[in-house]
């Protein structure tokens, strides 16, 4: 069985000027990331604008990644407010040979925990796929404590959690209770903190163009070289601070464009980077990331 430890890029989605999925550029992105040493990919998550896309577009992306990712581990984010779409995508993930599915908790209507848990169970049971809970309270608005996350992890349908929260107390508690389950750190800027509290690896958006730094952080951490790992984290964080100032999603697209790929812009209602922000990226980010081979 695969260990599933490691660095997983939450893939960005390139669009053509007409707003179609740009398969050619997506393939180049996957190749670049494999060269940087990632273990696999998280497909159509927040970073991939999954919840802004149709089920057909998401399937198309899942297929493209499947066809070019070799034996990398593949995680399909299938979360959708129309639960029928989530089921369709989970079935597609199974058919395409993805390793696991993942979903954000159903949001907006403030569903009860029981409703949320039943949503996850239906998806896992119907698809027969292992489920990775996507915990991202800052965006989903769905808060879950150690008790609720434990309800998932104590059930065999759930393989682990993508933990996008800075509540490392909760991370430690679930790590201690469930040593065999997978915990992925979600905030790239706190990767080293996550590893210190027991994360098995990370899933992140900034990995698209600096996965090598996170591979390095995990390696140094494993060797007990914490000070050196912190130096690499600091390098990454200086870049992430610039992204945050601009707006992470639109800024990441621009980084890819400046690297020489053709990623276009985010789906509306996202806006676009301004001229001065483009210059900031050219000056403060591009010189500090690996060029395309
Ligand atoms: O889940 C990502 N979260 C979002 C992971 O995109 C909402 C992170 O990789 C962040 O983008 C990153 C920057 O804050 O840590």
Model confidence over 138-194: pLDDT tens digits?
999 999 999 999 999 999 999 999 999 999 999 999 999 999 999 999 999 999 999
What whole-number distance in Å separates Cα of residue 203 and Cα of residue 99?
15
Cα 187 to ligand 1 centre (Å): 5
Q: Is the CB of 160 under 6 A from ligand 1?
A: no
Give the number of domains in the chain.
1
Q: What is the CATH number of the domain that holds 15?
A: 3.20.20.70
Q: How far is CA 86 from CA 107, 120, 175, in A?
A: 14, 10, 28
- At 9, the pLDDT band (50, 70, 90 cuts) reads very high
Burial of 156 (0-12, 13-18, 19+ CB in 10 A): exposed
206 Cα–ligand 1 center, Å? 7
Whether the full predicted model's pTM is greater than 0.85, yes or no, is yes
**Domain contains 249:** no
131: in domain: yes
In a domain, 147, yes or no: yes
Q: Can 134 be counted among the known catalytic residues?
A: yes
Residue 124 resides in a domain: yes
Q: Which of 94, 27, 11, 113 is nearest to 67 (CA)?
A: 27
Residue 248 lies in a domain: no
- Dihedral sign from CA coordinates of 188, 111, 160, 197: positive
47 lines ligand 1 (CB under 6 A): yes
pLDDT digits (tens, 9 = 90+) for 220-249: 999 999 999 999 999 999 999 999 999 999
Average predicted confidence (pLDDT) for the chain: 97
pLDDT > 80? residue 215: yes
Q: Would you state the structure tokens that stand for residue 212, as one six-digit string?
A: 């090598």
Domain, as residue range, for 217? 6-224
Residue 44 has pLDDT above 70, yes or no: yes
The tokens of 157 are what?
A: 């349908």
């Amino acid at each position: 069985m695969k260990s599933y430890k490691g660095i997983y890029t939450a893939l960005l989605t390139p669009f053509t000027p007409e707003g179609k999925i740009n398969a050619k550029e997506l393939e180049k992105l996957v190749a670049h990331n494999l060269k940087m040493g990632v273990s696999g990919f998280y497909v159509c998550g927040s970073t991939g604008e999954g919840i802004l896309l149709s089920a057909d577009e998401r399937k198309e992306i899942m297929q493209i990644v499947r066809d070019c990712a070799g034996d990398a581990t593949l995680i399909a984010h299938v979360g959708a407010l129309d639960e029928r779409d989530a089921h369709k995508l989970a079935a597609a993930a199974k058919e395409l040979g993805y390793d696991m599915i993942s979903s954000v908790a159903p949001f907006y209507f403030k569903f009860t925990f029981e409703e949320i848990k039943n949503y996850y169970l239906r998806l896992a049971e119907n698809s027969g796929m292992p489920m990775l809970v996507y915990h991202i309270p800052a965006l989903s608005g769905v808060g879950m404590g150690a008790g609720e996350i434990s309800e998932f992890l104590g059930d065999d349908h759930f393989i682990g959690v993508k933990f996008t929260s800075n509540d490392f107390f909760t991370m430690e508690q679930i790590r201690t209770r469930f040593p065999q389950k997978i915990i992925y750190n979600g905030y790239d800027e706190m990767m080293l903190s996550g590893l210190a509290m027991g994360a098995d690896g990370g899933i992140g958006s900034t990995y698209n163009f600096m996965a090598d730094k996170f591979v390095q952080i995990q390696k140094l951490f494993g060797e007990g070289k914490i000070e050196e790992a912190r130096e690499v984290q600091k390098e990454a964080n200086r870049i992430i601070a610039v992204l945050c100032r601009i707006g992470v999603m639109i800024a990441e697209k621009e980084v890819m464009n400046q690297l020489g790929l053709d990623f276009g812009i985010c789906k509306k209602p996202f806006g676009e980077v301004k001229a001065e922000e483009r210059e900031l990226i050219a000056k403060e980010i591009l010189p500090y990331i690996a060029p395309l081979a």
